[in-house]
Structure 1
Amino acid sequence: MVKAILIGAALAAASLSGCAGLSADVHTAATANAAAVLQGERTYAISRMPSQEASADHPRFESLLTDELARQGLVETAGPSARYLLSVAYDTRPAAIGVGEKGCTPGDCGRARDAPFSLFSGRAYRHALTLRFFERASGQEVYKVSASSSDRDADPLHAMPALVKSALARFPFDAPPDWRVKLRTDKTGGVPVVTSVKPLQP
């Protein structure tokens, strides 16, 4: 039994390193024609939760996000003149490790039981980011995108550059709803660079 547990944990570690790498899974939920809805004026204001207002780390993350949104042609606007309200949610938590997986199915990568103990550099963590755009005038949600990744670093700020790049690799993502974004780290600036964006097939 002990031997079986050791083999299973080793396979889990190998699966994590092979499946995750420098990549993120992206899932979208939007109106039937998000690209058309998001045409025109692209101004937004961020709607912050009380925990974000009080967080010492949130301004660093928000700066990273607004810079990437600006590259997509979205302009942060103070006050009620913004066309969209942007809700931002992110978290980091211990991840489940899949044993013997040959691939990641959409929305189901790594949802097996946790390894019984830590091997090969310790526990794995799952990082997630969700962006939701609401029309200020109507309150209707017009676009939602989530990005998630797994690694062995518990610091969410280390994962956020890749998650932001992945969630906004296309704006908006069209059908299908599930995508795999692969990235590499730029050798000069250390900033993640998107290398491929491919749909995940069910």
Structure 2
Amino acid sequence: MTYEYAPYRSEKMVKAILICAALAAASLTGCAGLSADVHTADAANATAALQGERTYTMARMPSQEASADHPQFESLLVDELTKQGFVETTGQSGRYLLSVAYDTRRATIGVGEKGCTSGDCVRPPETPFSLFGGPAYQHALTLRFFERASGQEVYKVSAVSNDRDADPLHAMPTLVKSALARLPFDAPPDWRVKLRADEASGVPKVMSVKPLQP
């Protein structure tokens, strides 16, 4: 029979905890790649709604007009929409009005209940400590296309990602790429987009787009 000296057992336990913590942190810091969850509303009808002329005008809120960061958000979005065949117009000439909303907030990390319905799901508890010196943040982007002539919303898509960076500007390339990885996303409404940063430019590239399993 062999015995392990107690401090040696304690050292092995600490190493195991640190390895598990590192793996958990990697999923939030991007070491294992980037990802975002995408949700669409009325995706089944969006394909028909977005056919034809693809011109749009940005609909800005007063807070966005006054924001020093908003032009950078719009520049990223316009570039990606151009790749999708959309053309930005000014004044009243665009077929669509495009509304953009985004925010960054502290995220919670925990183990949630599986198989619960929307009415009885319990929010996971806050993590009691921050791994590697920083809290987690959730970044969200929502794009809404309104048909100018009728005022009807014809397509809505949201992208959400998590990391340990509080700056929303750093998250925006991932969110924009994810939200527009398909335009439009068809049914089902929920998707997982995986990306990887280009080694030369640092710009995220879409690697896979897969529906989330219910």
The answer, yes or no, to whether TM exceeds 0.5 is yes
Equivalent residues of 1:182, 1:197 under 8 A apart: yes
Q: Deviations over 1:76-111 (max 9, x none)?
A: 011111100000000000001124899xxxxxxxx5
- Equivalent residues of 1:122, 1:152 under 8 A apart: yes
RMSD across aligned C-alpha pairs, in angstroms? 2.5
Secondary structure at 1:128 match in 2: strand
The two structures have a TM-score, normalised by structure 1, of 0.85
Indicate which of 18, 37, 40 corresponds to 2:27: 18
Cα separation, 2, equivalents of 1:11 and 1:112: 20
| AA in 2 matched with 1:48 | R
Tell me: CA distance 1:137–1:170, structure 2 relative to 1, closer, same or farther (3 Å): same
Q: Does 1:125 align with 2:137?
A: yes
Is 1:153 paired with 2:165? yes
Q: Secondary structure at the match of 1:97?
A: coil
**Following the alignment from structure 2 to structure 1, what is the Cα–Cα distance between the partners of residues 130 and 27?**
17
Which of 155, 179, 186 in structure 2 is aligned with 1:167? 179
Letter in 2 for 1:157: L
Check conservation: 2:44, 2:187, Cα contact below 8 A.
no
Matched to 1:182, the amino acid is K
For structure 2, the 5+ residue unaligned runs are 1-15, 115-122
Are the aligned partners of 2:43 and 2:187 in contact in 1 as well (CA < 8 Å)?
no
Shift of 1:126: 0.2
Corresponding pairs, count: 188
Post-superposition offset of 1:19: 7.0
Report if aligned partners of 1:46, 1:85 keep a CA contact under 8 Å in 2: yes
Residue 84, structure 1, aligned to residue 96, structure 2: yes
- TM-score normalised by structure 2 residue count: 0.81
Q: Which runs of 4+ in 1 moved over 3 A?
A: 10-21, 99-102
Identical-residue share of aligned pairs (%): 76
Within a 5 Å distance, the mapping from 1:103-118 to structure 2 comes to 112-118=124-130
**CA distance in 2: counterparts of 1:12 and 1:96, whole angstroms:** 16
Which residue pairs with 2:12 in the alignment? none
Hey, what does 1:44 align to over in structure 2?
A: 56
Tell me the residue number matched to 1:197.
209
Give the number of the structure whose alpha-carbon radius of gyration is greater.
2
Cα 1:20–1:39 shift into 2, 3 Å: farther
Contact 1:15 1:100 in 2 (8 A): no
Q: 2:141 & 2:174 partners in 1: Cα distance?
A: 10
Deviation of 1:49 after TM superposition, in Å, equals 0.6
Range that drifts further, 13-22 or 49-58: 13-22
Cα 1:51–1:35 change in 2 (3 A) is same
Q: 1:142 to 1:100 in 2, by over 3 A?
A: closer
Q: Retained in 1: the 8 A contact 2:44–2:186?
A: no
Give the superposition deviation at 1:34. Answer: 1.0
One of 196, 199, 203 as aligned partner of 1:184: 196
Shift of 1:13: 7.4
- Identify which range, 129-138 or 12-21, moves more after superposition: 12-21
Deviation at 1:188, TM superposition (A): 1.2
Q: Which runs of 5+ in 1 are unaligned?
A: 1-6, 103-110
